[in-house]
Amino acid sequence: MKQQPPPTSRRDFIKQTTTFAAASALAGVALPHVHAAENNTLQVALVGCGGRGTDAAGNALSVKGGGTKLVAMADVFQDRLNEKYAALKGRFQDKVDVSEDRRFLGFEAYKHAMDSLKPGDIVILTTPPAFRWVHFTYAIEKGLNVFMEKPVTVDGPGSRRMLKLAEAAKAKNLKVGVGLNSRHARALQQLAERIHDGAIGDIILERGYRMHGPVAYFQSLPKPANISELMYQIQRFHSFIWASGGNYNDFYIHIIDHLSWMKNAWPVKAQALGGRHYRQSPEGITYVDQNFDTYSVEYTYADGTKFFFDGRCMNGCNDNFSSYIHGTKGSAIVSKSGDCGAPSSIFKGQTPTAADRIWTSEVPKGEENWYQNEWNDLMDAIRNDKPYNEVERGVIVSTISSMGRMAAHTGQEITYEDMLNCEHEMAPGLDKITADSPAPVMPDKNGRYPVPRPGIVTNREY
């Protein structure tokens, strides 16, 4: 099936790429609508018990109006499963009813957790994104509503699968939220409305920055002896491109998403540079992860508008975590600090000074937390049977993130079509993986993993 380019006009953007055909057997028949009655308690299962998954479960149990209960959890690490169960039980008490026989361990645990639910309940998918298509497939089969974390894909084959699964979920009238929380930040919603109405004229330039020291699993030292190669890479998923898209996809996707939203279009190509610099620990041991320390990407929209993104994970350098838009009639701060930090502001000139500021966002009381907003919005759609499927947009922005990453890793100009149709599947067979399976990428004799070599390896990233 020939894939279509990302939508570039406002009309196409809002349609959310609904022209993608569903070639999945799951979407091949008419199926009854599945949603929860207003007064029913919705059961929740958590698949992937890391920090983000635990926070998402907390948001699910804190939705407006209540009526949710956590009944199952799944992970591949026993200590993490135990720790996060204790944390959630201590915080939410009666809203957590996860008996020991509903705390599932291993690569088949996701199935058991979803089997604990009934159609119309909710599963949270917060494992490393390489597994997203596997778990989403089963959720659709079980008739479950879904919340999944970003990014939702890391390579071309995964993106194509997820586009088909998005249509399968629509065919079952399932509600699916994706953790691109900028779309649910009220300050950014207010700004987007004004920009789309012409408050700063035509957009001529966008700028995004995420530059700070190493965080999360950005860096990794050689694998210790007490863990398998596969489990080490899953545990430290930000360090491995197959598992997460690397730090580029995981760290930078929010700014890429919300600046594209402000533009009402998606970038169609990217050129980029980046590199690995100081790659030793304070003890002098070489880090073995696959990430670049710096990325500088020039995205281009179909109308020629440029969007420059700079990312850096290095200590001792100037920190900047923010985003900006320049138009023919003025400019705007989109996120003042962080992925979507309020307030957003509009200025009559190109310099963001107090004297030139003409508008500042005001977030309604009780809606300051965009993580909670996205859950309130999802739950409203479930309980009131409103159309709600964020997967196609999640796939597109994940692919555009990968497009910038691949441009840096290969030294080539990469188009959206190039990335979507790239045949390099970084981790094939994840639907059949077991604890005894080999890791998708293997180290050399020094414990170092393949890294991108721009200009030398140009048709794949490593």
pLDDT at 68 over 50: yes
The C-alpha atoms of residue 181 and residue 428 are separated, in whole angstroms, by: 29
Q: Reduced to 3 states, what is the DSSP secondary structure of residue 211? A: strand
Residue-wise pLDDT tens digits, 346-363 = 999 999 999 999 999 999
The C-alpha atoms of residue 3 and residue 160 are separated, in whole angstroms, by: 8
State the DSSP H helix or E strand holding residue 409, giving kind and residue range, or none if neither. Answer: helix 391-410
Q: Provide the pLDDT for residue 83.
A: 97
Residue-wise pLDDT tens digits, 180-230 = 999 999 999 999 999 999 999 999 999 999 999 999 999 999 999 999 999
The C-alpha atoms of residue 55 and residue 32 are separated, in whole angstroms, by: 32
Q: What is the mean pLDDT of the chain?
A: 92
The C-alpha atoms of residue 457 and residue 104 are separated, in whole angstroms, by: 41
pLDDT at 387 over 90: yes
The C-alpha atoms of residue 300 and residue 306 are separated, in whole angstroms, by: 5
Residue-wise pLDDT tens digits, 139-192 = 999 999 999 999 999 999 999 999 999 999 999 999 999 999 999 999 999 999
CB 420 within 8 A of CB 156: yes
Q: Which two tokens stand for residue 1?
A: 């099936």
- Identify the residue with better confidence: 64 or 391: 391
Q: Provide the pLDDT for residue 16.
A: 44
State the DSSP H helix or E strand holding residue 212, giving kind and residue range, or none if neither. Answer: strand 203-212
Mean pLDDT across 77-92: 97
Domains of the chain: 10-182+371-389 (3.40.50.720), 186-364+400-419 (3.30.360.10)
The answer to which of 12-21, 36-45, 144-153 has the lowest mean pLDDT is: 12-21
Longest C-alpha distance within the chain, in Å? 63
Cβ neighbours of 163 (radius 10 Å):
25
Q: Provide the pLDDT for residue 281.
A: 87
Residue type, 86: A
Q: Provide the pLDDT for residue 385.
A: 96
Residue-wise pLDDT tens digits, 246-297 = 999 999 999 999 999 999 999 999 999 999 998 888 899 999 999 999 999 9
pLDDT at 18 over 90: no
Mean pLDDT across 425-451: 96
Q: Provide the pLDDT for residue 65.
A: 86
Q: ω into residue 151 within 30 of 0, thus cis?
A: yes
Q: Provide the pLDDT for residue 278.
A: 82
Which are the contacts of 176, defined by CB distance < 8 A and separation ≥ 6?
145, 146, 147, 148, 166, 169, 388, 389, 390, 391
389 backbone dihedrals φ, ψ, rounded to 5°: -150, 105
The C-alpha atoms of residue 126 and residue 53 are separated, in whole angstroms, by: 5
pLDDT at 452 over 50: yes
**Residue showing tokens 């497939």:** 137
Cβ neighbours of 352 (radius 10 Å):
16
pLDDT at 17 over 80: no
Q: How many helices (H) and strands (E) does the chain have?
A: 13, 15
Q: Provide the pLDDT for residue 354.
A: 96
pTM: 0.92
